[in-house]
């Protein structure tokens, strides 16, 4: 009987598809990601089918898409009639729990962004490094924050351990901690420990890096390895096309990113690339630990991101759109004992396929709503003909759906019933909306979107036999920015009076004092 392979999932947060040197980015230094490219197969058309943190992570751990999970944004939606009350009730046991049942020693390290934050995801060893702490108890329960408090108390005074947020979200920064004490270095060190554990069982591990999610605050020297003036400017189309999705201008305004100019954007890209190179350096330590074992060739490594980052492209920052900058991701799969090396593949793949990779490699295939990607690579299974993405609650004006086929991408926005159609063969930067000039193609892909919504968890997106169109509403920004202060220290926003921060017990100044 063949020995089950070790399986290691390595996920980054908000890493674009085009940020690996070996896959064509001449501006970035990623020697260890390049090693992974050479070690196996790179899927160049991989997508996050709900490109925002919480749902993307649940697609990995469930192998199911948003309608089944009932997670379409960073908040959970109520199950529809006939669906179970819990995510696992709707989808089945989470991946880590499944792998444990298949005989694996399991560990999870890093950001998991579950709801609740300390949800039991099924790992034997589960070490959190979440971005934000909602209470003193959560900060004390966070493995990274408590490690820093215990081992490096000189940094315990920091309110935001991964860089300042709120109005500093898209300001270039530098980590207050050195590389070995910053969160990615911590995650790599603990992953190395777990890989080296002596145990007869194979391991299933998930290391989930917080970077390069903003704020872009790489540690020294990664904060200064890229010259902003050597960075390319963002790629922008006409604003009418770029901002058809109201999520984009609304998000820009809410995170102080409504007026970032090109020099500022190049500086941010330099720091973003610095974050990626720091993660790459940490990845090198992990790969060294894998290769130090005598079963290195029988170790499956999947490297991927939860979603991308607009980084100024399409007049946009953050994620949550179906432009490639936001929804398309790096997706590397290697298994030297079974798969070819240094191969590029163009099949349409997504995060739900990871569940099938892990369980099939373990000897008990469970594909759920993904495809048999290992079977595709071996020639025993067919690739998917099209891929569907969902975002926003079906039936609301926040709902949108993407259909991707090898040449075309179609996006329907319930807000106004707007459509976008891009010919990715002729227009890979998605600058020309052809929905009006290619009506037959748009209608054919709209029908695929309609069919994808004919299931209980998405049927509210339909009106009869068509997609539900709601009157267009411009999402007005009313000055409510996103505040992300350290609530574990009781900080919820800016003070009305400076003295409230400088002297918490000081009385408010008299209005006559100006």
- 91 beta partners: none
What pLDDT is stored for residue 513 in this prediction? Answer: 42
Nearest to 383 by CA among 45, 23, 33, 42: 45
Query: Would residue 128 count as lying in a domain?
Result: yes
What pLDDT is stored for residue 477 in this prediction? Answer: 74
**pLDDT tens sequence for the chain (514 residues):** 579 999 999 999 999 999 999 999 999 999 999 999 999 999 999 999 999 999 999 999 999 999 999 999 998 899 999 999 999 999 999 999 999 999 999 999 999 999 899 999 999 999 999 999 999 999 999 999 999 999 999 999 999 999 999 999 999 999 999 999 999 999 999 999 999 998 999 999 999 999 999 999 999 999 999 999 999 999 999 999 999 999 999 999 999 999 999 999 999 999 999 999 999 999 999 999 999 999 999 999 999 999 999 999 999 999 999 999 999 999 999 999 999 999 999 999 999 999 999 999 999 999 999 999 999 999 999 999 999 999 999 999 999 999 999 999 999 999 999 999 999 999 999 999 999 999 999 999 999 999 999 999 999 999 999 999 999 999 877 778 999 999 999 999 999 999 988 875 544 444 444 4
pTM, to two decimals: 0.96
Query: Would residue 410 count as lying in a domain?
Result: no
Query: Would residue 44 count as lying in a domain?
Result: yes
Tokens representing 455 are: 């299931």
**CATH code at 316?**
3.40.720.10
Query: Would residue 352 count as lying in a domain?
Result: yes
Query: Would residue 446 count as lying in a domain?
Result: no
Contact (Cβ atoms closer than 8 angstroms) between residue 11 and residue 191: no
Q: What is the DSSP letter of 71?
A: B
How does DSSP assign 115-164, residue by residue? SSTT---S-SEEEE--S--SSHHHHHH-HHHHHHHHH-GGGTT-SSTT--
- Taking CA atoms, 194 is separated from 191, 207, 253, 289, 496, in Å, by 5, 11, 42, 9, 48
Phi and psi at residue 36, in whole multiples of 5°?
Answer: -65, -40
- Residues of the domain holding 195: 6-383
For the chain, the domain total comes to 1
Distance of CA 287 to the CA centre of its chain: 22
Contact (Cβ atoms closer than 8 angstroms) between residue 404 and residue 387: yes
What pLDDT is stored for residue 130 in this prediction? Answer: 97
Query: Would residue 98 count as lying in a domain?
Result: yes
Query: Would residue 314 count as lying in a domain?
Result: yes
CB contact set of 488 (below 8 Å; sequence gap of 6+) = 133, 134, 135, 136, 138, 139
What pLDDT is stored for residue 48 in this prediction? Answer: 98
What pLDDT is stored for residue 504 in this prediction? Answer: 58
- Taking CA atoms, 366 is separated from 72, 83, 289, 362, 458, in Å, by 23, 20, 29, 10, 23
> Whole-angstrom Cα distance, residue 28 to residue 9?
23
What pLDDT is stored for residue 306 in this prediction? Answer: 98
Contact (Cβ atoms closer than 8 angstroms) between residue 49 and residue 390: yes
Query: Would residue 301 count as lying in a domain?
Result: yes
Nearest to 299 by CA among 398, 380, 196, 220: 196
């Amino acid at each position: 009987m063949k020995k089950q392979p070790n399986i290691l999932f390595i996920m980054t947060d908000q890493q674009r598809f085009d940020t690996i040197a070996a896959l064509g980015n001449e501006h970035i230094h990623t020697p260890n990601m390049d090693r992974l490219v050479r070690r196996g197969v790179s899927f160049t058309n991989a997508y996050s089918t709900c490109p925002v943190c919480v749902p993307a992570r649940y697609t990995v751990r469930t192998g199911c898409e948003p309608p089944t999970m009932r997670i379409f944004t960073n908040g959970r939606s109520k199950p529809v009639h006939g669906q179970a009350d819990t995510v696992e009730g709707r989808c089945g046991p989470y991946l880590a729990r499944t792998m444990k049942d298949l005989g694996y020693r399991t560990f999870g390290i890093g950001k998991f962004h579950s709801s609740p934050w300390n949800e039991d995801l099924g790992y034997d060893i589960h070490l959190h490094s979440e971005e934000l702490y909602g209470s003193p108890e959560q900060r004390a329960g966070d493995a990274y924050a408590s490690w820093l408090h215990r081992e490096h108390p000189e940094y315990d005074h920091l309110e935001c351990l991964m860089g300042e947020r709120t109005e500093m979200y898209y300001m270039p920064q530098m980590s207050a901690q050195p590389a070995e004490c910053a969160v990615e270095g911590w995650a790599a060190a603990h992953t190395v420990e777990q890989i080296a554990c002596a145990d007869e069982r194979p391991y299933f591990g998930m290391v989930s890096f917080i970077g390069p999610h903003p704020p872009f605050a790489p540690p020294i020297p990664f904060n200064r390895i890229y010259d902003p003036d050597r960075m390319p400017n963002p790629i922008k189309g006409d604003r009418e096309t770029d901002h058809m999705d109201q999520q984009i201008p609304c998000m820009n305004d809410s995170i102080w990113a409504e007026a970032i100019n090109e020099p500022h954007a190049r500086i941010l890209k330099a720091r973003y690339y610095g974050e990626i190179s720091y993660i790459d350096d940490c990845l090198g330590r992990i790969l060294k630990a894998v290769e130090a074992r005598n079963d290195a060739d029988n170790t499956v490594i999947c490297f991927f991101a939860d979603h991308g980052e607009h980084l100024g492209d399409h007049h946009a920052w953050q994620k949550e759109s179906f432009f490639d900058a936001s929804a398309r991701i790096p997706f590397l799969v290697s298994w030297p004992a079974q798969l070819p090396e240094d191969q590029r593949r163009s099949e349409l793949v997504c995060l739900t396929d990871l569940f099938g990779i892990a369980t099939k490699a373990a000897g008990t295939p469970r594909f759920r709503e993904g495809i048999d990607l290992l079977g595709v690579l071996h020639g025993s299974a067919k690739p998917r003909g099209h891929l569907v993405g969902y975002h926003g609650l079906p039936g609301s004006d926040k709902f949108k759906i993407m259909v991707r086929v090898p040449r075309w991408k179609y996006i329907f926005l319930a807000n106004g019933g707007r459509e976008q159609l891009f010919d990715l063969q002729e227009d890979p930067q998605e600058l020309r909306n052809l929905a009006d000039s290619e009506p037959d193609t748009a209608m054919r892909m709209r029908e695929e979107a309609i069919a994808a919504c004919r299931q209980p968890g998405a049927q509210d997106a339909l009106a009869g036999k068509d997609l539900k169109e709601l009157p267009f509403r411009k999402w007005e920004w009313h000055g409510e920015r996103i505040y992300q202060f350290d609530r574990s220290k009781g900080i919820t926003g800016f003070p009305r009076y400076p003295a409230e921060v400088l002297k918490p017990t000081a009385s408010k100044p008299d209005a006559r004092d100006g």
